[in-house]
């Protein structure tokens, strides 16, 4: 599977898009600090050092990082988590 990584207007956010649906339906999923999700993939992403919050909808997840985190370090970790769930 291929994961496309796109920059967003926010330098602290990146969009990770997969070829298949991660979240069914028309509802979005978000996890803020101190919260957990019914979707384990979201909890795993929140547990990565440097992740501030996550947002998911259908076939993509947007990661918001903390200002002191580096995308060069975080991007491969995010891709590894997403890939480990079969996306």
67-83 pLDDT, tens per residue? Answer: 999 999 999 999 999 99
Tokens of 20: 């298949």
Task: Evaluate if pTM is beyond 0.85.
Answer: yes
Q: Which CATH fold would you assign to the domain 4-84?
A: Ribosomal Protein S8; Chain: A, domain 1 (3.30.1370)
Question: How is residue 85 annotated by DSSP?
Answer: T
**CB contact at 8 A, 28 and 48:** no
For the segment 45-70, the average pLDDT, to the nearest whole number, is 98
Q: What is the pLDDT of residues 14-42, one digit of tens each?
A: 999 999 999 999 999 999 999 999 999 99
DSSP secondary structure letters along 6-66: EE-SSTTEEEEE-SS-SS-SS--EEE-TT---SSHHHHHHHTSTTEEEEEEETTEEEEEE-
Q: Which two tokens stand for residue 59?
A: 């076939």
For the chain, the structural domain boundaries read: 4-84
């Amino acid at each position: 599977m291929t994961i496309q990584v796109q920059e967003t207007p926010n330098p602290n956010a990146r969009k990770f898009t997969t070829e298949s649906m991660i979240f069914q339906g028309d509802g979005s999923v978000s996890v803020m600090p101190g919260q957990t999700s019914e979707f384990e993939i979201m909890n795993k992403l929140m547990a990565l050092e440097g992740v501030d919050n996550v947002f998911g909808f259908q076939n993509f997840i947007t990661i918001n990082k903390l200002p002191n985190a580096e995308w060069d370090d975080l991007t491969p970790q995010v891709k590894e988590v997403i890939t480990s769930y079969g996306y």
